[in-house]
Amino acid sequence: MSVLVTGGAGYIGSHTAVQLLGCGEDIIILDNFSNSSPEMLDGIRQISNKTFKFYEGDMRDGALLDRVFSENDIEAVIHFAGLKAVGESIQKPLEYYDNNINGTLCILETMKKHNCKIMIFSSSATVYGNDNPIPFTEDMKTSAINPYGWTKVFIEHILEGVCEADKDFSAVLLRYFNPIGAHKSGIIGEKPNGIPNNIMPYIMKVASGEYDHLNVFGNDYDTVDGTGVRDYIHVVDLADGHLAALAYARKHKGAETVNLGTGKGTSVLELVAAYEKASGKKVPYVFAPRRQGDIAACYADVSKAKKLLGWQAKYDIDDMCADNARWALKE
Ligand code: NAD
Ligand code: WQD
């Protein structure tokens, strides 16, 4: 039996593929390289020293999905494939709804046809919206302030509906906080196309000298030093969270929603200081106005992940920065 990893050439999918292969799982990757490249697949092979099947194509291509499920005995789907840039989703809402929601529906239809009943889904802390108190617990109400966020809210509801209708279906909806870092080998990591939206890839480009400074969005929040606080989580810890979710889903039916974070908040200035220490490079910054849509602080209550999945994050912010710098600043 195999595990299908959609979006497995991407940032989180590639790290999860490495961890799955390391545990002896047989995996198949489906990706259309819309935000990744074949190099990442080479990286997975190099680190794991294992082989896997790869299908290049779009998850909305029903004929391709049918072929993937007919040619393989697929037990579970770990579903990473999706578009994820918040700003772009505001410019191109139809593209985001089509890719993320329609894509997920296509996969679920094909799973139904082939009697595959486990899905681990990449949701996001973005579903907590802008007015829940911190730390966020899984039972809080969900909402969104942009199309990207709505795709995650809707897909969560779709999966709950699927589990309601089919009592044999298992879905684990993993709400990621802020994934950063890279594999400790320095072989795979995050490689965004164009100007980065998220802070870590931006810091990388400042540390490498490609950009001359970081804009720190807001220094007047009610936080430890006035800058935004987030729950950064090492991508390898996050990957391991998927293995724990898969083990859980193999034994339990129904839908469960679980936060994957560390439970600790780090400010922008604390992150910059940690990166400078880990990399030995300067990260000059200037204060800029608050970014529209940002909240002051966001971190997870991680007790459910520990209780339900037996999982908790192992790495701290210094590990995340050191592993990132090894990947990002290699010659
Ligand atoms: P990523 O862009 O690196 O990986 C996504 C992969 O999916 C890419 O390789 C892309 O080519 C592929 N893809 C996109 N649309 C596809 C389609 N229609 N058919 C086939 N392949 C397709 O992103 P990531 O950071 O690895 O994120 C993975 C998932 O986790 C996404 O669903 C994202 O929304 C979610 N998520 C990410 C973060 C984050 O900060 N990185 C936070 C919360 C949730
Ligand atoms: C982190 C902190 C910024 C850039 C986003 C998505 C969310 C999820 C993860 C997918 C904030 C500050 C940033 C910069 C800065 N993705 N910042 N200068 O906004 O918490 O979450 O990515 O699901 O949906 O919204 O992450 O990395 O953009 O910002 O000062 O150039 O860094 O204000 O405090 P965010 P981020």
Alpha carbon distance 309, 59 (integer Å): 28
Residue 148 falls in the annotated catalytic set: yes
Separation of 81 CA from ligand 1 center, angstroms?
Answer: 5
Determine which residue's CA is closest to atom 23 belonging to ligand 2: 124
CA 304 distance to own-chain centroid: 18
- Among the bound ligands, the one closest to the CA of 99: 1
Choosing from 79, 268, 295 the residue with most ligand 2 atoms within 8 A of its CB, the one to mutate for a pocket test is 268
Determine which residue's CA is closest to atom 7 belonging to ligand 2: 126
Determine which residue's CA is closest to atom 24 belonging to ligand 2: 126
Separation of 180 CA from ligand 2 center, angstroms?
Answer: 11
Determine which residue's CA is closest to atom 32 belonging to ligand 2: 199
291 CB near ligand 2 (under 6 Å): yes
Determine which residue's CA is closest to atom 25 belonging to ligand 1: 11
- Segments in the chain below pLDDT 50: none
Pocket of ligand 1 (CB under 6 A): 7, 9-13, 30-36, 58-60, 80-84, 99, 103, 122, 124, 176, 179
- pLDDT number for residue 329: 85
b/e for 280-289, b at 16 or more Cβ within 10 A? ebebebeeee
Q: Which of 148, 176, 202, 248 does the annotation list as catalytic?
A: 148
Alpha carbon distance 89, 104 (integer Å): 17
Torsion of the alpha carbons at 241, 247, 253 and 255, rounded to the nearest 10:
10
Determine which residue's CA is closest to atom 10 belonging to ligand 1: 35
Which residues pair with residue 174 across a beta bridge?
Answer: 122, 258
Choosing from 154, 217, 292, 324 the residue with most ligand 2 atoms within 8 A of its CB, the one to mutate for a pocket test is 217
146 CB near ligand 2 (under 6 Å): no
Domains of the chain plus CATH, in order, are 2-181+232-261+301-315 (3.40.50.720), 199-229+264-298+322-330 (3.90.25.10)
Alpha carbon distance 224, 328 (integer Å): 28
Choosing from 84, 150, 231 the residue with most ligand 1 atoms within 8 A of its CB, the one to mutate for a pocket test is 84
Q: What share of the chain is helix, strand, coil (3-state, %, to 5)?
A: 40, 20, 40
294 CB near ligand 2 (under 6 Å): yes
Tokens of 125: 């802390």
Alpha carbon distance 190, 181 (integer Å): 8
228 CB near ligand 2 (under 6 Å): yes
Report the predicted TM-score, pTM, of the whole model to 2 decimal places. 0.98
- pLDDT number for residue 331: 62
Question: Ligand 2, closest atom to CA 217?
Answer: 30
